[in-house]
Amino acid sequence: MKYTALVVGCSTGGVHALGTLLAGLAPELQVPVIVVCHTGSEDVEMLREVLALKSSLPVVEASERYPPQPGTVHLAPAGYHLLIEADGCFALSVDARVCFSRPAIDVLFDSAAAHYGAQLIGLVLTGANEDGALGLKAIRERRGLAIVQAPEDAVAPEMPQAALRIAGADHTAALTDIAPLINRLCSP
C-alpha cells in the first residue's frame, strides 16, 4: 500500500467538516486517521461523541505511547500537542502554543512527516488561521501527499488559503469529494 497514515487539521467549521469527511470514509479503510481540531475546550470527549455518531470508523482520543491503529480515527487530546514519535507511537507535549493553538496542526504534521515520509497524506480543512500550512509544507518536502479543502468550499477559507500559499497541494477539492478521494488513494 502506498499510503500508511492520514493526518487531518481543521479549526473554525471543523466539527461539521470532520463529520462529513469521516462519514464518507470507507469502513474498510486500512490507514489510521489522526486529527487535530482546534476546539479550545477542556477535553475532546464531546467532540469524540459527536464525530463517532457520524463516522464510519471508530473514533478515539489518541493515547500517548500507543501506536495509531489502522482504520481508527484518533483525536488529539485537548491542551496537548500530539506528535508521532520516532518509533511510530503517539507522544504528547505541553510546549508553547503554535499559531495560538495547542494542539497545533503544524506540530502533528511535522512529526508525522518525519516518521511516515512519502507514505503520509496530509489534509487541511476549514479554519480561520494559518496553522497547518508549515506542517503541510513539511509533508510535501518529504514527498507525502497534500490535500487541501477548496477555500471557496470552506466555512473559514483562511487555513486552506494559507496552506495553498505556503505549501501548495496535490489535490484541492470540495469537502464532499475528499472522502472518496482518500478512499481511492488508500484502497489496497
Partner 1 sequence: MSDNGQGTGLRPEAEDIELEAFVRALKQRHGYDFSGYARASLKRRMLQVVQSCGFENLSTLTGRMLRDDALVPDIVAGLSVPVSEMFRNPTVFAALREEVLPVLASYPRINIWQAGCAHGEEVYSLAILLEEAGLYERSQIYATDFSDAALVRAQEGIFPIKDARAYSENYLAAGGQRTLADYYHARYERIKLDERLKRNIHFANHNLAADGVFCEAHLILCRNVLIYFANSLQNQVLGLFRDSLVRGGFLCLGNRESLDFAPAARAFTAVNASARIYRLAARA
Residues making contact with partner 1 (CB under 8 A) = 2, 63-66, 77, 79-81, 83-86, 91-96, 107, 110-111, 113-120, 142-144
- Whichever of 138 and 155 has its CB closer to partner 1, that residue is 138
- Strand duo 73-75 + 59-61: pairing: parallel
* Active site annotation includes 63: no
Q: Which residues contact 46 (CB under 8 A, 6 or more apart)?
A: none
115 included as an active-site residue:
no
Helix, strand or coil, per DSSP, at residue 177? helix
Nearer to partner 1 (CB atom), residue 21 or residue 113: 113
| Rounded distance between C-alpha atoms, residue 58 and residue 49, angstroms | 10
Cβ burial of 41 (10 Å; 0-12, 13-18, 19+) is exposed
Nearer to partner 1, 27 or 188 (CB): 188
74 belongs to the catalytic site:
no
Q: How far is the CB of 76 from partner 1 (least distance, A)?
A: 10
Residues belonging to the active site: 11, 38, 131
